[in-house]
Each structure stands twice: as structure tokens, then as C-alpha cells.
């Protein structure tokens, strides 16, 4: 009976000795937590932990000018959740126009710059610019229509780029209006410190906007 007890104790001790190193190695191998700092050595593990594919990491120039800035897993999780909440499609038809002030040197024929910034209520906005020609109280043609993306979420770990754009403007209502129509696809990216970017989602923004000659401040020539 005593011998059996001794053998049992030896077996238990051996089991403990065998198990402990394995557990220690697993812990030392880099189990991730929200406080884990992202490094070149664990970046692939971090990306997989976030549910992303390491092969999607796009190498770029240093994201942060200060190389001493550290990035934790928790910060990336927060940024990723924010990007995932972005809608897939947005339509903007709000009448939020910013018109260049009329100068004393305005003539009855000239060029008027028209501006519109979307109010999407998310992490980014789109800023449109239209160059319109006018003559004697009427719009006559459109020179150019452009768009740029504005990052307005103040998050160091997110960035936004325009993937594709179809932006056009035309004169309507016999010269009384300029009409803007645009479809823009915006890619949302998460920054993995200074190691690169991974695209998280794409949002399609459809925008329509009109300016009248009065809104645009066209000179009231007779």
C-alpha cells in the first residue's frame, strides 16, 4: 500500500514537471493582451489576433514621424472596431455650401469657385470643388470638378483614401444652376504602427448638390 502511494506521488510530480515548462513556453511565446506592444517580431501574430490577414499588410513609409511612438493591441482593436462601424454606402444630398466671398473686382463675366463638404457624421468627409464659368447673371460652363477626402476622427491609427471617383458637374435650368453628381469609393485603413497599413472596409458615397446663381454670388449684371 505504501509502495503504491509512493509510485502515485512520483507520477504526479513527473506530470507537474512536464506540464509547467510547456505552460511557461506558451506564455513566453507571446500570448497577446490589450497592453501588448506591436513589434516587428509579433506583428503577424497581432494581425491574425485582430482577425485580419498578414498578407494584406501594405508596406508604406513610416506612419509616425516619431519612431519612439508605441502601438498596443488594445489601441488597434479600438481603431478597428471604429472602422468596422462605417456604413458600406452613404448618400449625401445636404445643402451645405461654402461660397467664396464676392470681391469688389468681380466682373459680369468670369470664374466662380463653388465648394461643398459632405456631412456624413462619421470618421471622414468628402470635400468637393467646382470651377464654374459665368456671364451676365448665368452659368455658362464648368471647367473642373474635383474631390478630396478629409480625415476628421483624430485617430492616429486610422486613415482614409479615395479608391475611385466619378465626379461631374453641369449647367442646368438654362444657366440658373450648377448640378454636381458624384460617386466616390473611400477605403478605410488601419495603421499597424510604422510597419504598414491594412484595408478594413470600403464605403461608397453618392453625392448630389446644386448651386443657384444667387447662392454662388454671381454679379447682378443687367
At residue 76, the pLDDT reads 94
At residue 103, the pLDDT reads 47
At residue 166, the pLDDT reads 97
Most confident of 65-69, 91-95, 184-188: 184-188
Backbone angles phi, psi at 66, to 5 degrees: -95, 105
- Domain-wise residue ranges, the chain: 1-30, 54-216
User: Can you give the pTM of this predicted structure?
Assistant: 0.76
Between CA 70 and CA 120 the distance in angstroms is 31
4 pLDDT band (50/70/90 cuts)?
A: very low
Kindly report, residue by residue over 6-65, the tens digit of the pLDDT.
444 444 443 433 333 332 222 234 588 889 999 889 999 999 999 999 999 998 765 554
Kindly report, residue by residue over 139-197, the tens digit of the pLDDT.
999 999 999 999 988 888 999 999 999 999 999 999 999 999 999 999 999 998 888 99
Give the residue-averaged pLDDT of 93-118.
Answer: 70
Least-confidence region, from 66-75, 78-87, 162-171: 66-75
**DSSP one-letter string for 31-91:** ---TTPBP-TTTHHHHHHHTT--GGG-B--S-SSS-TT---BHHHHHHHHHHHHTS-SEEE
Amino acid at each position: 500500500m505504501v509502495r503504491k502511494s509512493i509510485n502515485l506521488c512520483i507520477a504526479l510530480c513527473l506530470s507537474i514537471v512536464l506540464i509547467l515548462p510547456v505552460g511557461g513556453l506558451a506564455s513566453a511565446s507571446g500570448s497577446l493582451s490589450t497592453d501588448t506592444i506591436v513589434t516587428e517580431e509579433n506583428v503577424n501574430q497581432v494581425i491574425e489576433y485582430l482577425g485580419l490577414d498578414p498578407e494584406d499588410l501594405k508596406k508604406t513609409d513610416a506612419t509616425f514621424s516619431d519612431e519612439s511612438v508605441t502601438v498596443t493591441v488594445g489601441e488597434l482593436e479600438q481603431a478597428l472596431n471604429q472602422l468596422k462601424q462605417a456604413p458600406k454606402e452613404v448618400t449625401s444630398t445636404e445643402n451645405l455650401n461654402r461660397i467664396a466671398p464676392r470681391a469688389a473686382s468681380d466682373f459680369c463675366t468670369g470664374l466662380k469657385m463653388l465648394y461643398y463638404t459632405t456631412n456624413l457624421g462619421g470618421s471622414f468627409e468628402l470635400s468637393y470643388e467646382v470651377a464654374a464659368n459665368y456671364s451676365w447673371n448665368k452659368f455658362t460652363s464648368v471647367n473642373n470638378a474635383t474631390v478630396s477626402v478629409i480625415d476628421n476622427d483624430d485617430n492616429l491609427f486610422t486613415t482614409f483614401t479615395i479608391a475611385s471617383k466619378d465626379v461631374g458637374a453641369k449647367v442646368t435650368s438654362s444657366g440658373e444652376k450648377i448640378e454636381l453628381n458624384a460617386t466616390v469609393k473611400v477605403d478605410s485603413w488601419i495603421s499597424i504602427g510604422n510597419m504598414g497599413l491594412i484595408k478594413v472596409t470600403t464605403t461608397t458615397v453618392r453625392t448630389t448638390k446644386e448651386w443657384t446663381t444667387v447662392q454662388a454670388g454671381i454679379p447682378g449684371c443687367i
